[in-house]
Amino acid sequence: MPETALKLLMVASEAAPFAKTGGLADVIGSLPPALHDLGHDVRLIMPWYRRVRDVTGNLRLNQRQLLIPMGDQVYRVGFRTGDLRGVPVYFIDVPELYDRPELYGEHGQDYPDNAERFGLLSRAALELVRQITFVPDVIHAHDWQAGLVPVFLHQQRGSDPFFAKTGSLFSIHNLGYQGVFPLTAGRALGLDESLLTPDGLEYHGQISLLKGGIRFADQVNTVSPTYCREIQTPECGIGLDGLLRSRADQLHGLLNGLDSQLWSPADDLALTHTYSPKRLSGKAACKKDLQEKLGLQVSSEAPIVAMITRLDTQKGIDLVLESWDKIMSRDLQLVILGSGNPDYEHRLTEAASFYPGQASVLLGFDDRLSRRIYAGSDMFLMPSRYEPCGLGQLIALRYGSVPLVHATGGLADTIFDPLESADQANGFVFHEYRHSSLLHCLDRALSTYAKPENWLKLVLRGMTLEISWVHAAKQYEGLYHLCTKELK
């Protein structure tokens, strides 16, 4: 047990295994259980999406319902209770808002009522803890979808003794998604006029829910030290760098961990063959199976370079498309699993069609297939324009697929190039966001791959790297104590 066990409430829009579109779900699926294991009383609140029901089955609807006023409307809010490895999860059930095929939008378009959907999540979180008389020491809100939690808490703390000693931590998992809506949406959320100003949530004539979280939380963090520095600059701050700099004393950069229970090639049920650093033969078998499954030429020699990614400008897809023919002129195979921007989906599929047997582009979000690709590939390409932390490269390390990355954000903090730090080397890094730099980096990786002994060293160093959630959870513990310090 820690010296002081804390009561912690997490509010987020996705969590593995219930609903996942990206790394946020990995974090929320792992950080709360890690904190629970450290002895804290942790609860999680998230929406009851259609997709959650597909995973958990039809969890019983609690008899109590909440009537929550927001703007001119009153919402009837149900909740269902589930479990995340010991952490109680309260799923907020409002069918007209969450019972939809996707989490945030369809066919490349956001749902038009996202302000209302996630405004209500934030409002309901505060009402629910009151209903169940769980007085949190800290509410930990994640990304723009929970950005109003610190705002509402800040407002209520002054007048409501229930929250008088509750602090808030706001985590930025990606500054690129700011939850920007018209001012009218702010009014419909019942936000006071004083909040619709530049000193509040106003952002270029609109409102930003992410800005609300940054502005009103007691402490703020992002998910790597380098990204924490980057977002405080005009180049990467997307208009919020001034606010972030003004909060520099309360702004922290904490690297994500990787859950060894969920990501382990030694006992991953999705794999056709398992393997470990001491018994690597299964990895070669996974590679062969992957080549057969995807219709690639079966060859142990040609390295498989993989990408598993949202298809978004953030992820450097344009760089890959620009260099496509040059990449394919090398002795390698390319596998891309991704979904997102329809234009990228189309262009990548077309580009792959010219290289049958050598390139495979798979569209969609498929956890099982992603695991088989991490396991079957030799290199993992992540040329992100910017990357808050990145989990793809961490999973790749664990599965013995050597990362090739652009030096930005969390990629710069986790991947080390033999040219820069021979003792720590676990991948290859390029510094200029240019296709010539990417190709040069790829060529250096290919020449090391041609020397099996050197390559094996890199693979093993990655597979055995200590990147657990225990360490990260302990750092969060420190931040939670900072959040409550001034309230005692």
CB of 389 to ligand ADP, least distance (A): 6
Q: Which stretches does DSSP call E strand in 85-184?
A: 87-93, 105-106, 109-110, 138-142, 167-172, 180-182
Stretch of 192-200, 224-232, 302-310, 439-447 lying at the interface with ligand ADP (CB under 6 A): 302-310
The nearer residue to ligand ADP, 155 or 339, going by C-beta atoms, is: 339
CB of 405 to ligand ADP, least distance (A): 11
How many Å apart are CA 169 and CA 190, to the nearest integer?
A: 23
According to DSSP, the residues that pair with 69 across neighbouring strands are 74
**Tokens 């419909």 -> residue:** 188
249, 237, 242, 103: which is closest to 175 by C-alpha?
237
The nearer residue to ligand ADP, 32 or 136, going by C-beta atoms, is: 32
Helix (H, G, I), strand (E, B) or coil at 43: strand
Stretch of 214-222, 232-240, 321-329, 390-398 lying at the interface with ligand ADP (CB under 6 A): 390-398
CB of 220 to ligand ADP, least distance (A): 19
Query: Among 178, 226, 370, 437, which residue sits at the site for ligand ADP (rule: CB under 6 A)?
Result: 370
Residue 391 touching ligand ADP (CB under 6 A): yes
Instruction: State the pairing for strand pair 138-142/7-11.
Output: parallel
For the chain, give percent helix, strand, coil, nearest 5.
Answer: 40, 20, 40
Number of residues that bind ligand ADP (CB under 6 A): 19
How many Å apart are CA 20 and CA 189, to the nearest integer?
A: 26
CB contact at 8 A, 195 and 186: yes
The nearer residue to ligand ADP, 371 or 435, going by C-beta atoms, is: 371
What CA dihedral angle connects 94, 98, 104 and 107, to 10 degrees? -140
N-terminal to C-terminal alpha carbon distance within the chain: 22
Angle at 335 between CA 463 and CA 341, to 5 degrees: 110
How many Å apart are CA 74 and CA 294, to the nearest integer?
A: 51
Query: Among 12, 15, 18, 26, which residue sits at the site for ligand ADP (rule: CB under 6 A)?
Result: 26
Site string for ligand ADP, 346-365 (x = CB under 6 A): -------------------x
221, 144, 290: which is closest to 479 by C-alpha?
221
The nearer residue to ligand ADP, 38 or 362, going by C-beta atoms, is: 362
Instruction: State the pairing for strand pair 304-311/333-340.
Output: parallel
Query: Among 30, 291, 309, 414, which residue sits at the site for ligand ADP (rule: CB under 6 A)?
Result: 309
Residue 396 touching ligand ADP (CB under 6 A): no
Stretch of 23-31, 96-104, 189-197, 427-435 lying at the interface with ligand ADP (CB under 6 A): 23-31
Stretch of 110-118, 123-131, 241-249, 389-397 lying at the interface with ligand ADP (CB under 6 A): 389-397
The nearer residue to ligand ADP, 186 or 410, going by C-beta atoms, is: 410
**Tokens 């020699």 -> residue:** 301
Residue 22 touching ligand ADP (CB under 6 A): yes
State the helix-helix crossing angle for 209-216 and 148-159, rounded to 10 degrees.
50
In the range 43-82, which residues lie near ligand ADP by CB under 6 A?
Answer: none
Nearest residue to ligand ADP by CB is 23
How many Å apart are CA 73 and CA 60, to the nearest integer?
A: 26
In the range 272-301, which residues lie near ligand ADP by CB under 6 A?
Answer: none
CB contact at 8 A, 428 and 402: yes
Residue 222 touching ligand ADP (CB under 6 A): no
Please give the biggest Cα pair distance in the chain: 68
Residue 403 touching ligand ADP (CB under 6 A): no
Residue 310 touching ligand ADP (CB under 6 A): yes
CB of 156 to ligand ADP, least distance (A): 31
Ramachandran assignment for 26, one of left (phi > 0), alpha (psi -120 to 50 degrees), beta (any other)? alpha
CB of 94 to ligand ADP, least distance (A): 25
How many Å apart are CA 201 and CA 184, to the nearest integer?
A: 13
The nearer residue to ligand ADP, 147 or 390, going by C-beta atoms, is: 390
Query: Among 206, 272, 339, 468, which residue sits at the site for ligand ADP (rule: CB under 6 A)?
Result: 339
Residue 392 touching ligand ADP (CB under 6 A): yes
Residue 303 touching ligand ADP (CB under 6 A): no
The nearer residue to ligand ADP, 38 or 175, going by C-beta atoms, is: 175
CB of 309 to ligand ADP, least distance (A): 5
CB of 402 to ligand ADP, least distance (A): 16
Count of C-beta atoms within a 10 Å radius of residue 162: 14
How many Å apart are CA 149 and CA 464, to the nearest integer?
A: 38
Residue 23 touching ligand ADP (CB under 6 A): yes
CB of 281 to ligand ADP, least distance (A): 24
In the range 319-338, which residues lie near ligand ADP by CB under 6 A?
Answer: 337-338
Angle at 89 between CA 99 and CA 309, to 5 degrees: 65
How many Å apart are CA 153 and CA 164, to the nearest integer?
A: 9
How many Å apart are CA 118 and CA 424, to the nearest integer?
A: 42
Residue 390 touching ligand ADP (CB under 6 A): yes
The nearer residue to ligand ADP, 41 or 366, going by C-beta atoms, is: 366
Count of C-beta atoms within a 10 Å radius of residue 188: 18
Task: Give me the residues that bind ligand ADP (CB under 6 A), please.
Answer: 22-24, 26, 308-310, 337-339, 365-367, 370, 389-392, 395
